[in-house]
Each structure stands twice: as structure tokens, then as C-alpha cells.
Amino acid sequence: MKRLLLVFITLMLASGHTLADKIRMGTEGAYPPFNMIDKSGQVAGFDVDIGKALCARMNAECKFVTQDWDGIIPGLLAGKYDTIIASLSITEERQKAVDFSDHYYSNSLRLIARKGATIDPRKLKDKSVGAQRATIAADHAAKIEGASVKLYDTQENAYLDLASGRIDVLITDMLPGFSWLQSKQGDGYEFIGETIDIGDKIGIAVRKGDNELRERLNKALAEILADGTYQKINARYFPFSIY
Amino acid sequence: MNWNWSVILDSLPQLVEGTWLTLELVGLALLLGGILSIPLALMRVSHSLVLRNTALVYTFFFRGTPLLVQLFLFYYGLAQFDAVRESILWPYLREAYWCALIVFTLNTGAYTAEILRGAIQAVPRGEIEAAQAIGMSRSLLLRRITLPLAYRIALPAYSNEIILMLKGSALASTITLLDLTGMARTIIARTYMPVEIFFAAGCIYLLLTFLFVQGYRLLERQMMRHQNIEAK
Amino acid sequence: MFDLQGFGDQLLLGVWMTLRVAAGGLLLGLILGLIGALLKLSRSRIAYGIGATYTTLIRGLPELLVVLIIYFGSAGLLTRAAGFFGYDGYIELSPLAAGITALGIAFGAYATEVFRGAIQAIPRGQIEAALACGMNGFQIFFRVTLPQAWRVAIPGLGNLFQVLLKDTSLISVVGLEEIMRKSQIAISNTREPFTFYFVAALIYLTITIIVMIGQRQAERWASRGLERPNP
């Protein structure tokens, strides 16, 4: 009898099955190819795939909640979801409001302009520069001397205005920009200038002090990096490693 | 919930800057829309079926669809076409400011035209018949009798329209313009304190509405003084 | 004529969501409107003050701002209120709930005035007669005042409902997947803003026409038994 109990308990602990808990993951859903909404209305993309993989590792049930970019951090703080996995860069400013997990990919900024527009990236004075509001791209744009800056609610609207010529240059994260340039609408545009490498790391945000969740995420992240799951997801979207 | 007053104080200069843009857009849109509404209203009451229905389609479209749809259709939708981008209008349509102004003007023009139409139809027939009896020409009749009387009738309803335009202007923030609401959203994006900033912006809107209502009351009193009625 | 490239289904879902928000907002708005009207008609200065503050405040703020404030502010407020009562978790307002709340509050502020005018239009004689019969306040309100006030209120309420339907588009800004939001999703995949926004406009126009017809029917029904209404 005792032995049976011992075996039973061991099996329980070994499989790591406690009650499957629910984690709500906040994402934007308007940032292809990292997070977007497909034809059937489901969230999809790199961020979503990583999120699902992490949840599988943590034996948790994940629910994705979409949220407008402007409200993504306020939403976390208010308790609408427990994590943000939406290509959120780890910045000092943001770390005042939230805690971050280890990074799950790296990013840099790039400028996109029409092919042949001969815009000198160092001389952007008097040019109109666009970026999505509340991003590090927007912070960077604000620092450009003399440029007229336009902020957009969504990345998509920024692309629309770039395509129609309302803005001369778009500052954006390199990877989504790369994705856009491959698409039909991006045909005729190119990266200009150097990669603005600010050592930007993308992490998963949790509420300040939510250390338990943060450690679980870090542990799961290390695991999927080690066993090849991360690389598989990476390869689905980019021909190079983005870690 | 810790209320943060300092972030409100710090943001005031930008909010005020945004308020100027709001007032500019609303003022110009009301002016241009008001001018537009006169021929529109006259078309709506005209004897010609063609004129009547053209105006009807126009007002129906702008009153039957949300302002947000109109803005997006104009700003993002038109820019999709090469023909638009290569036309002479592009330098204007390119700018969010002009797009917003045009859409607001067309929108308030439609609403005002309906108000004016109702007022024109409410002008006492007796006055019109009297004017016709003494041989006034149609344009003189319009200018001297119909329109002035119609405007007096329309005053209360028009004040509503002005307030609605002020509130509608907040939508300019959705096409990159930094009006009061646009500034508020930009500040919030930086500070992550939505409640405080929206509170501040809300107070400014209320102040504007209050000032306007008081001013309008004076205007009504002035224009209705011959009727010895106290404007409420 | 319009190639929706497979997003037609999504748009229909958006229409369904729009209708749901509008219905919820209407219900909440009617209740708030009645309460507001009673407050403003009351003899108590406090009651009047509350009613007047409500209408002045909400009618003076852009609906967009009301939606944003309720969406961002509600969670914090509700969580604290719940904590007060001993509930330790969090309470969130989904975009749907926030939308219904915001639109309901906005509708209610304007409906207050419509109801107030309608209630005041009931001839005093009827109220006096009811009092003479020995009816108490509640009975008078529900059996005499309200049924007749509805008739007067329908045109005003119908117009407000049309405005409500259009205002549902504002909730797209906080992520609710109604018509506008679904259009934007379609646009991000197809890159054809004109097509989808134009179709959205047509959808709204269709809904408006249906509501207008419904309103006319409601006016006709409410006036049954009375003099023939003006055509």
C-alpha cells in the first residue's frame, strides 16, 4: 500500500502535472509577421508561436488577448492579461512600469524609403518621418533634428502612408520591415542607411513583482532554446536566426 | 490608485497646443460647412427632382455613415489610387490636416443643410405669401425673408451641431493629427498614465463646451431680442 | 463588384458584433435615460444636481474620449471596488463590455433630455386624475406616464439610436472586432483600404436605412388609436 502511494506520488511529481493553470497573453495582432490576425480571426505569428511553445513547456493553458498597441502596457497593469508577448522592446523607460523576461529575439531599427528616392539618412531635416506611436522607433524619430514626425496607431497605417508617399521615410523594427519589403506592397522600397543597432532586445513583459511567472517563462524559454523548438519556429519566418 | 498630478501639469503645454489645432479645425470646418450648407439646403427644397435627389444622396451618405469611416475612406482609401496620387490635388490630400478639414466640412455641411432645410420648411407660409404678393423676386425673397427667418428657427438646433462638431474633431487623432485627443494619446504612450491625461483632456473639452454654450446664449439673446423670449 | 478576397465572413462577424454592442448600449442607455429624466424632474436639489451633472458632463465630452476613459479606467476602478468587498482578484471589462458601457452612458445622457421632454408633455390633468383615483407614485408612473411618454419619445430616441450605431465604430479604437476593426484586418492582408472602407460605409448605410424604417413603424404603432399622424 505504502509503496503504491509512493509510486503514485512520484509519478505525479515527475510528470509535473499540477492543475493546468491559465495564463493570459496579451498581444497586438497588427504586427506581421510577429503577431497578426488571420482570415479565420485567430491570432498568429512568431510571437504567438513562441507563446504557445512556452505555455506547452509550462503546462499552462494559454489564452491570447488582443489589445491596441497604445494600451498594451496599461492593459497589463490593469490586469487584463498576465503577460505581453507582442514584440515589446526592453527599455529603461518600460522597465519602470513592468518587469521583463529574458529576451526572445533581437531587433534593430532601420529606415525604409522608396527605391531611388535618394534620401540621405543622415540629412533627414525637413523630411517627413513616420513611426508607430509608443515604439522605440517613435522615440528615435523624435530625436531627429528638424524632421516632421508622424505617429500612427498601427504599423499597418504607417505602411499605407509610406506607400502613398505621405511620409518620406519610415522608421521601423528591422524584422517586420524586412518582411514587408518582401511583400507585394513593399516592392519598390528598400532599406536605406545603416542598421541602427541599439542593442535592442525583445522580451515578454509581466507585472512588476510577478517574479514567479517571470522565472517560469525564463525557464521555459531556456528549454525551447536548448531543444530546438525555438529554432524551428524561427525558421518558419526568417531564413536567419533572430535570437 | 495613485493619482499623479505632476504628469498632468507637465503635459499641459502640449495639451494646450493640441487644443489650438482642435479649435482651428472646428472653426474652419464650421465656417466652410456653413457656407456649403446653404446651396445644399436650397437644393433639398428645390422643385427640381434632380437637384433634390442629388442633395439627398449627399446628405444621406454623410449622415448615415460614421465620421470615422468617412475619415479613413478619404485619408487611406483615396491614397490607394495612383490617379489620385498623381493629380494636382495630391499636395493637399497628402496632408492629414487638409483631409480632416475637407471631411469635417463635408460632414458638417450635410448636417447643417438638413437643419437649415427643416428651418426653411418651417418658415410661416404667411410671410412668404405676403412677400410674393408685393412682387418680390425669388432671390430677394430668399435673401430678405426666408433665410433670415430660417436661421432664427435653426439657432437652437445649430448649437447642437457645433458641439457635435467639436466632439467629432477628436477623431482627427486617428489620422495622425495632434489635436487635443491626439496629443493626449501621444503623451499617454510615453507615460503609461491614461486616466490622468484623459481626465485633463476631458476637462479642457468641458471647458470649451461651457464657454461655447455661454457665448451662444448671448448670441441667441441678441438675435431673439425682438421676441421678448428669454433664451433658456 | 467588390472583391472581398475572402474576408466577407469576417465582415459579417463584425456586423454581428456591431449589432450586439448597439443593442447592449441601447438597453443600458434607455435605463440610464429614464433614471436621469426622473432625477432631473425631481424636486430634490440633490437629485437634480446628480442628473444635471451626468448630462452636462457626458454631453460635453467626445464619445471617443468616453470610450477610451472607460476602457482604460474601468479595470482599475472595478478592481478596487471589488477589493472593497473582499474579492481579491481583478475584474476586467472586455472591449465589448467597455463599449456597451461607454455607449450606454453616452446614449443615456442624451436620452435623459428626450424622456424629460416626453414626460413633461403628458397633460397634468391625467396625473391629477390618477392621483384622485388614489394611485400612488409608482402606479402613476408605470401606468399613466410611461406608456404615453414612449410615444412622444420615439422620434428622439430613434435618432439617438442611429447615432449610437455609428458610434460603435469608435470602439474599434480599443480593439473591439466590429465592422471597422474587421475592415482593418482585411486591409492589412489585402492592402486595399478603399474597397473595404467603402463596403463598411455601405454596410452602415444599410443598417441606417433599416433603423429608419423601423423607427417609422414604431412611431406609427405607438400612435395607433390617435389622430392620423402627419404623413
Does C113 reside within a domain? Answer: yes
Residue B137 phi, psi (nearest 5): -75, 165
User: Do residues A99 and A207 share a domain?
Assistant: yes
Grid cell locating C68: 477610451
Grid cell locating B24: 482651428
Please answer yes or no on whether C187 and A39 come within 8 Å at the CB atom: no
Q: What is the amino acid identity at position B30?
A: L
CB B57 within 8 A of CB B136: no
Q: Which of B79, B85, B96 sits opposite A160 (nearest CB)?
A: B79
Inform me whether the pLDDT recorded for A179 exceeds 70. yes
Inform me whether the pLDDT recorded for C145 exceeds 70. yes
CA dist B98 → B55, B89, B92, B165 (Å): 23, 11, 6, 16
Distance between first and last Cα of chain C: 37
Q: How far is A19 from chain C (nearest CA, A)?
A: 19
DSSP letter string, A8-25 = HHHHHHHHT--PPEEEEE
- Residue A83 is classified by DSSP as E
User: Do residues A150 and A178 share a domain?
Assistant: yes
Name the residue range of residue A41's domain: 19-106+201-237
User: Do residues A122 and A166 share a domain?
Assistant: yes
Inform me whether the pLDDT recorded for A18 exceeds 50. no
Provide the whole-model pTM.
Answer: 0.80
Length of chain A measured in residues? 243
Task: Give the mutation candidate from C70, C194, C205 for the B interface (greatest B CB count, under 10 A).
Answer: C194
Gyration radius from chain C CA atoms: 21
Does A174 reside within a domain? Answer: yes
Please answer yes or no on whether C10 and A67 come within 8 Å at the CB atom: no
- Residue A147 is classified by DSSP as P
* Chain C contact residues (CB < 8 Å to B): 56-57, 59-65, 68-69, 72-73, 76-77, 80, 162, 166-170, 172-173, 180, 187, 191-194, 197-198, 200-201, 204-205, 208-209
User: Do residues A191 and A216 share a domain?
Assistant: no
Is A39 an 8 Å CB contact of chain C?
A: yes
Is C71 an 8 Å CB contact of chain A?
A: yes
d(CA C112, CA C171) in angstroms, rounded, equals: 23
d(CA C147, CA A208) in angstroms, rounded, equals: 55
Please answer yes or no on whether C62 and B167 come within 8 Å at the CB atom: yes
CB A135 within 8 A of CB C167: no
Q: Is residue C96 classed exposed, middle or buried when 0-12, 13-18 and 19+ CB atoms within 10 A define those classes? A: middle
Please answer yes or no on whether B176 and A164 come within 8 Å at the CB atom: no
pLDDT bracket for residue A14 (50, 70, 90): very low
Query: Chain B contacts of C172, Cβ < 8 Å?
Result: 68
- pLDDT recorded at residue C139: 84
Query: Chain B contacts of A152, Cβ < 8 Å?
Result: 176
Query: Chain B contacts of C57, Cβ < 8 Å?
Result: 206
Does C66 reside within a domain? Answer: yes
Please answer yes or no on whether B198 and C63 come within 8 Å at the CB atom: no
- pLDDT recorded at residue B208: 93
Q: How far is C74 from chain A (nearest CA, A)?
A: 9
Please answer yes or no on whether B181 and C65 come within 8 Å at the CB atom: yes
d(CA C15, CA C202) in angstroms, rounded, equals: 12
Does A1 reside within a domain? Answer: no
Does C229 reside within a domain? Answer: no
- pLDDT recorded at residue C33: 93
Number of domains in chain A: 2
Does A5 reside within a domain? Answer: no
Q: pLDDT tens across B160-196, in order?
A: 889 889 999 999 998 889 999 999 988 888 777 788 8
Query: Chain B contacts of C72, Cβ < 8 Å?
Result: 194-195, 198
Q: Is C6 left (phi over 0), alpha (psi -120 to 50) or beta?
A: left
pLDDT bracket for residue A17 (50, 70, 90): very low
- pLDDT recorded at residue A16: 36
Please answer yes or no on whether A156 and C187 come within 8 Å at the CB atom: yes
d(CA B171, CA C127) in angstroms, rounded, equals: 46
Does A148 reside within a domain? Answer: yes
- pLDDT recorded at residue C1: 55
For residue A200, give the 3-state DSSP assignment: strand
Size of interface A-C (CB pairs under 8 A): 50
Query: Chain C contacts of B66, Cβ < 8 Å?
Result: 166-170, 180, 204
Q: Which of B64, B68, B80 sits opposite C193 (nearest CB)?
A: B80
Is C193 an 8 Å CB contact of chain A?
A: yes
Residue A24 phi, psi (nearest 5): -95, 130
Mean pLDDT, residues C81-101 taken together: 68
User: Which CATH number covers residue C138?
Assistant: 1.10.3720.10
Q: How far is C158 from chain B (nearest CA, A)?
A: 13
d(CA A87, CA A104) in angstroms, rounded, equals: 9
- pLDDT recorded at residue A121: 77
Inform me whether the pLDDT recorded for A176 exceeds 90. no
CB C7 within 8 A of CB C182: yes
What's the mean pLDDT when you consider all of chain A? 84
Does C2 reside within a domain? Answer: no
Domains in chain B: ranges and CATH: 5-227 (1.10.3720.10)
CB A149 within 8 A of CB A169: no
Portion of chain A with pLDDT greater than 70, in percent: 92
Pick out chain B residues at pLDDT < 50. Answer: 1
d(CA B58, CA A19) in angstroms, rounded, equals: 61
Q: How far is B125 from chain A (nearest CA, A)?
A: 53
User: Do residues A122 and A189 share a domain?
Assistant: yes
Torsion angle defined by CA atoms of residues A221, A224, A228 and A230, in that order, rounded to the nearest 10 degrees: -50
* Chain A contact residues (CB < 8 Å to B): 70-71, 73-74, 77, 93, 97, 133-134, 138, 150-153, 157, 160-161, 163-166
In sequence order, the 6+-apart residues with CB closer than 8 A to the CB of C4 are C11, C186, C195, C196, C199
Task: Give the mutation candidate from A164, A167, A170, A184 for the B interface (greatest B CB count, under 10 A).
Answer: A164
In sequence order, the 6+-apart residues with CB closer than 8 A to the CB of B18 are B178, B179, B180, B181, B182, B183, B184
Name the residue range of residue C17's domain: 8-222
Alpha helix segments (H runs only) across B136-193: 138-141, 147-168, 180-191
Is A134 an 8 Å CB contact of chain C?
A: no
CB C152 within 8 A of CB C114: no
Inform me whether the pLDDT recorded for A47 exceeds 80. yes
Question: CA torsion sign, C22 to B162 to B102 to C69?
Answer: negative
Number of domains in chain C: 1
Inform me whether the pLDDT recorded for C77 exceeds 80. no
pLDDT bracket for residue C43 (50, 70, 90): confident
Alpha helix segments (H runs only) across A16-154: 46-58, 72-78, 92-95, 136-142
Mean pLDDT, residues A115-130 taken together: 83
Does A11 reside within a domain? Answer: no
User: Which CATH number covers residue A120?
Assistant: 3.40.190.10
User: Do residues A214 and A94 share a domain?
Assistant: yes
Residue A199 phi, psi (nearest 5): 65, 35
Please answer yes or no on whether A41 and C92 come within 8 Å at the CB atom: no
Task: Give the mutation candidate from B74, B75, B95, B176 for the A interface (greatest A CB count, under 10 A).
Answer: B176
- pLDDT recorded at residue A12: 46
Task: Give the mutation candidate from B2, B65, B160, B207 for the C interface (greatest C CB count, under 10 A).
Answer: B65
Query: Chain A contacts of C175, Cβ < 8 Å?
Result: 29, 66-68, 71
User: Do residues A214 and A100 share a domain?
Assistant: yes
Please answer yes or no on whether B202 and C69 come within 8 Å at the CB atom: yes
Please answer yes or no on whether C75 and A41 come within 8 Å at the CB atom: no
Inform me whether the pLDDT recorded for C187 exceeds 90. no
Does C99 reside within a domain? Answer: yes
Mean pLDDT, residues C121-127 taken together: 85
Is C8 an 8 Å CB contact of chain A?
A: no
Question: CA torsion sign, C130 to C136 to C140 to C143?
Answer: negative
Beta carbons within 10 angstroms of residue C3's beta carbon: 10
- Residue A187 is classified by DSSP as T
Does C3 reside within a domain? Answer: no
Does A4 reside within a domain? Answer: no
